[in-house]
Amino acid sequence: MLRNLCLGTLLVFLCACNVTPKSESAITLSEVAKQYVTAYQKRENFDEFLSYYDENVVLEDMLYGIRVNNKREFAEFFNWAAGDFKVLNNAPTFVVTQQVIDEQQRTIVLYGSFNPFVYNTNQLGPWRFTTLLKLNEDGLIYYQQDWINYFPRSFINEANNLNIKP
């Protein structure tokens, strides 16, 4: 009887060891999207913003014609410290009007618009955008594709053709 009780207890213990509860640190793409959007909208902590990206991130800004191939180039392209930037009316940097998340493809698509802002004394925006984000298993963005309706068009007069594969 005691032997059966010990074996039963051991069996329950071994089965419990094989059950792996979902890690508290594992977060869903929906949570990543929410945190990422909040950090980007606030536009206060560039290091926090960069923390969402993989070291080998590829960014394609389709209308501007820019392609970057790593986090260093990505940081140089986004460089929040360059120029004088201020969103008007105390609004967030942008508003997301629709978000599509595909957990299987590990993809987030954001639709929205950048609020009016001043950059180096030029008043710009609003600019509508669509951004595609692909995330790796670590929850880091390894690919970003931006479609931003830049206006005035002088921003993109000399854009490269990203339809041509590098």
Reported pTM: 0.81
Asked if residue 138 has pLDDT above 70, the reply is: yes
Per the CB < 8 A criterion, the answer to whether 127 and 148 are in contact is: yes
> Which regions of 64-140 does DSSP assign to beta strands (E)?
66-68, 85-87, 94-102, 107-114, 117-119, 122-124, 127-135
Average pLDDT rounded to a whole number, residues 13-25: 44
Higher pLDDT, 103 or 18: 103
What's residue 6's pLDDT?
A: 44
Asked if residue 158 has pLDDT above 60, the reply is: yes
- Reference 155, options 122, 112, 113, 121; nearest CA is 122
What's residue 11's pLDDT?
A: 43
Per-residue confidence band for 151, with pLDDT thresholds at 50, 70 and 90: confident
